[in-house]
Structure 1
Amino acid sequence: LESEGILDDYDIILLDTPPALGYLTINALAAADILLVPLGASFLEFDSTGRFFDMLYSTFASIEEGENRIRRQEGLSEMKFEWDAVRALITRFDASQQTDLANVIQAYFGDFMTTYRQEVTAMVGQAGEQVNGIYEADYREFNRDTYVRGREAFDRTWAEVKEVLLGTWWRDLQELNEQEGNDGQAT
């Protein structure tokens, strides 16, 4: 991405990959700064997401090992894959049926979890059937409460993702300012 200047043209680039650890996903994860992993509050998705993170760790550890073997031979410093933030987000959440399991998932993943659980609404279901995004939905096709609940679910999710994003940008800016300050002191 950097060689084509794309990073200079955009502040945010979203890569939505398949939920499998194939070459497309591995390349997207290697290019990513932040990982946002949606999961439903079901045991199957909880188990699958746990396995995904295990495979992710093993895959990237293996890639690092191979790359660093070559880098050491060439006298280069070692590399490590690191993300600015990793978050799992509970989606399609039904509080009347899934609260206990969602609490278990929250406890297991700890800091990796977003605090907000994205509730399922009729608007989400209808948008999916029409292959539209929530923000493309025509408010006139819903009763007011349904529309407000649907938008609120995604607005709250975006607010939390935005907080993570801005936090990483702020941290990067602070590190850059510290480096520039240290460079100025060294001369």
Structure 2
Amino acid sequence: MTIKTKQAQPQPLVSIGAEQFHEVNRMPLARISEIAERASGMLVDVRESMLAPHPRKNAPVYTTAQVAALCRIDRQKANYYLSSRNDLDLPEGTLRGKGSSREFTLAEARTWIDRVAPFMKRPDGVKGKKIAIGNFKGGVSKTTTAMTLAQGLSLFGRRVLIMDLDPQASLTALTGILADSEVEDEHTALPLIYGEQQSLEYAVQSTYWDGIDLIPASAALFGAEFYLPFKQSKDSKFQFWNVLNKGIEPLLDTYDVVIIDTPPALSYMTINAFMAADGLIVPTPPSALDYASSTQFWNLFSDLSNSMQEAAPGLDKTFDFIHVLLAKVDQSQAATHVVREWIKKTYESLVLPIEVPTTTVTQSAAAEFGTVYDISKYEGSLKTYQRAREAYDRLAEIVDQQLVALWTAKKE
């Protein structure tokens, strides 16, 4: 039996005259603020709905087995510490329900890591290290790399400072802070740039994640791109590339590592970050467009290096390491395998032996202003979650091993 349905008749197009069209689409500068206000209001609503029932981000909680894994001991050893009296004064967590299972906060878990885990601590008298995350193309997982690396290193017992230099303030947003409504100019690096402060200590604030502090960003950081060249034009002895480095230096006794998220451009702030950094990590997705963009990054970086040597002949700058990180790897894309080989042949030993996959875990976490480390319990496939988490864990492990090696070499 065939059922005939009445087809909808196409509606005639509404004719709009040129004059009417012009009136509908006109947008004077004065109305841009209306769009900005609506966007800011919507972002507040979105964040609060994503983070409900809490208006702020909360760190994850851990089971006894998870705490044991973080400390590199077995579950039985952890239970022994919990049941026996010892001089470690370890947090006992909170009993869940009527059973004997326990739940530990991040701060409690980090106390266990500090007192039980076999990780070497930074020697006295040895300063922390600075790592810049850079790429001149947006959307390559630069900010996510900065945040997950900080979180991963904190689970090795490190005290981490993250610094947001991107006026878009995405790293700041990942900590649950909205730049346009909650960050004033004096909370950013601007007072240092303008010469009003000599150290960045004034800008440091705590975050929801125990062991990670933040220097936030806001759109006001665009001002640095005008001030620094202006200052240089007025004072030929002014080292525009060294402002950030001097501001970070007093903090290196407090923090094991400072991780700097840079703007997706060769800006004056990016130059400052690169010149301050001891190490550089360049996230590079294995796609043809991102690969092409990465060659431009290195060409511009090379031009910058040559220009810096001409501007300051006595400048002695050496990176402790430079890494290319394969990020946002989508195995389902046919081009991924080809471009991966291009990247490996081009950058050889600079390419890290890990790949950060694109998964439903990373996509859903990003949509909720978070990372894989923010998830206490993943409701989807455990295998998918572990694949995403293991990549970031391995990145943190490699970087932590390099930090330890550098601290040891410095001590000797």
TM-score when scaled to structure 2?
Answer: 0.38
Instruction: Report deviation, 1:160.
Output: 2.3
Aligned residue among 330, 342, 345 for 1:94: 330
Provide the residue aligned with 2:320 in structure 1. Answer: 84
Distance in 2 (alpha carbons) for counterparts of 1:62 and 1:140: 49
Instruction: Report deviation, 1:2.
Output: 4.8
Instruction: Report deviation, 1:53.
Output: 1.4
Provide the residue aligned with 2:94 in structure 1. Answer: none
Q: Cα–Cα, structure 1 residues 54 and 169, in superposed 2: closer, same or farther, change >3 Å?
A: farther
Unaligned runs of 5+ residues in structure 1 are 69-77, 178-187
Instruction: Report deviation, 1:115.
Output: 1.2
Aligned residue among 274, 293, 314 for 1:29: 274
Instruction: Report deviation, 1:156.
Output: 1.7
Aligned pairs, how many? 165
Provide the residue aligned with 1:172 in structure 2. Answer: 410
Letter aligned with residue 80 of structure 1? D
Provide the residue aligned with 2:353 in structure 1. Answer: 115
Task: Spell out the pairing of 1:23-172 with structure 2 (5 A cutoff).
Answer: 23-68=268-313, 78-97=314-333, 98-172=336-410
Distance in 1 (alpha carbons) for counterparts of 2:359 and 2:256: 30
Distance in 2 (alpha carbons) for counterparts of 1:53 and 1:123: 31
Distance in 2 (alpha carbons) for counterparts of 1:118 and 1:153: 5
Kindly report the root-mean-square deviation, in angstroms, between the aligned alpha carbons of the 2 structures: 1.8
Distance in 1 (alpha carbons) for counterparts of 2:392 and 2:274: 23
Distance in 1 (alpha carbons) for counterparts of 2:406 and 2:299: 24
SS in 1 for 2:326: strand
Q: Cα–Cα, structure 1 residues 53 and 9, in superposed 2: closer, same or farther, change >3 Å?
A: same
Distance in 2 (alpha carbons) for counterparts of 1:28 and 1:172: 22
Larger Rg: 2
In the alignment, is the contact (CA less than 8 A) between 1:85 and 1:168 conserved in 2? no
Divergent runs of 4+, >4 A: 1-4
Unaligned runs of 5+ residues in structure 2 are 1-244
**More strand as a share of residues:** 2
Provide the residue aligned with 1:73 in structure 2. Answer: none
Distance in 2 (alpha carbons) for counterparts of 1:84 and 1:25: 18
SS in 1 for 2:264: coil
**More helix as a share of residues:** 1
